[in-house]
Chains A and B, each alone.
Chain A
Amino acid sequence: EAQVTQNPRYLITVTGKKLTVTCSQNMNHEYMSWYRQDPGLGLRQIYYSMNVEVTDKGDVPEGYKVSRKEKRNFPLILESPSPNQTSLYFCASGTGRQETQYFGPGTRLLVL
């Protein structure tokens, strides 16, 4: 089954403790992206990657890092999480600019 998977689905952590949210897709998509969803703000793009080793900032990249060492994986790294990064995070993948993006199930993060 074609899908985007994220782990973990739920995470509670404390300020400053590094964490990684994994994202994997099995559709051989070149394009992958991370978004955060906050009430009243919709989804905002954090980072995206057009292919292996090619990443670029989205609209809200501060406090996040990404890497794209393999085509299927695009982990999101929070080196020193802060409470303002409490949010619902979605990973997505697609084949090209004009193609549909397929979204993962989301990761709900709470930073205390």
Chain B
Amino acid sequence: AQSVSQHNHHVILSEAASLELGCNYSYGGTVNLFWYVQYPGQHLQLLLKYFSGDPLVKGIKGFEAEFIKSKFSFNLRKPSVQWSDTAEYFCAVNPHMGRRALTFGSGTRLQVQP
């Protein structure tokens, strides 16, 4: 079964700082990769996704992520965060083959201070 690790549980940044959230997965085959965001009191929304092709994907609100296959990583980045980016961020994977389970990481809580 696949698993997802998000090593940063709580990140505090000042506005305009750069952001990088780590995501590593374990699975032997080909996977689809996602980043979801959950703003306070709201449901999950998709930030970006990678299925194949260019390993650098761009999502909404200036976020991007890079898939590095050799490192089993899919880190999320943003050059300059805003207070409105305060939220919890979840990395998720599902395999191309087999059971269609979407496995989430434990999440990273981002707090952006004005």
- A residues with a Cβ closer than 8 A to B are 31, 33, 35, 40-45, 48, 50, 56, 58-59, 90, 92, 97-98, 100-101, 103-106
Interface size class of B (residues with CB under 8 A): 20 to 34
Interface of A is mostly: strand
Complex CA gap A76/B80 in Å reads 41
Residue of A nearest to B100 (CB): A97
> Is the Cβ of B100 less than 8 Å from the Cβ of A48?
yes
Complex CA gap A50/B102 in Å reads 13
- Specify which chain A residues have a CB less than 8 angstroms from the CB of B51 in the assembled complex: 98
Shortest distance between the CB of B26 and any CB in chain A (Å): 14
**Does chain A have a CB within 8 A of B25?**
no
User: With contacts A48-B100, A56-B99, A98-B32 known, is A41 near B106, CB below 8 A?
Assistant: yes
